[in-house]
Chains A and B, each alone.
Chain A
């Protein structure tokens, strides 16, 4: 069975500082990996995805993530955080054989001025 761990429940970062959110997955086959963002009262918005190929993936809003198979990780990064990045972030795993996504518990990001 596939599973996702997001070790950090809550992260506080200053506006303009860099951000890194951790994601570790457990899956036997080649995973499809996703990062979603959820703002209060909003649905989940896809930031980026990895299916295959280049392990450094660029997404929307200036986010990027790197797939490291040896570490079973797919960490999300942003070089300079904006106040509008305050939200909850979810890492998810799927695969070519499994259409349903398994989500981590999420990391809440607070941005301080």
Chain B
């Protein structure tokens, strides 16, 4: 079956702009996670959804970052007033249930000029 997909694969934007990154989890997976991977680092947790609700958003760096999952499937990570420090690969993962194996998408590489 299809794995986790993320669009776009690459996004280049200018400082101060708004961006949206999309994640399509594996069908039937109730748990969805966003991570951010900076160059030379491991992924860092941003936010976790169980169903439609954000069960834990403690990893979001500030209030410019927001994520939604309105129908319990596709999720969108939204970044307002982008800064150069937001440049990273944003990874999405899903799992059948919480604490199960997480399946990762290929990521969206965000570059803020």
Q: A residues touching B (Cβ–Cβ < 8 Å)?
A: 4, 32, 34, 36, 41-46, 49, 90, 92, 94-96, 99-106
Contact = CB atoms under 8 A, between A and B. Distances in A.
B105 A43 contact: yes
Contacts, number: 58
B1 interface: no
Nearest to A98: B99
Q: Is the interface of A mostly helix, strand, loop or mixed?
A: strand
B101 A46 contact: yes
Enumerate the 4 nearest inter-chain pairs by beta-carbon distance, A residue then B residue, closest first.
A103-B42, A44-B104, A100-B45, A99-B98
Contact of A99 (B48, B104, B107): B48
Contacts of A94: 99
B59 A100 contact: yes
Contacts of A44: 43, 91, 93, 104
Contacts of A32: 99
Contacts of B41: 105-106
B106 A43 contact: yes
In the complex, which of the residues B33, B42, B48 has the most CB atoms of chain A within 10 Å of its own CB atom?
B42
A41 B48 CA distance: 24
A99 B59 CA distance: 13
Contacts of A41: 106
A72 B113 CA distance: 41
B44 interface: yes
B102 interface: yes
B26 interface: no
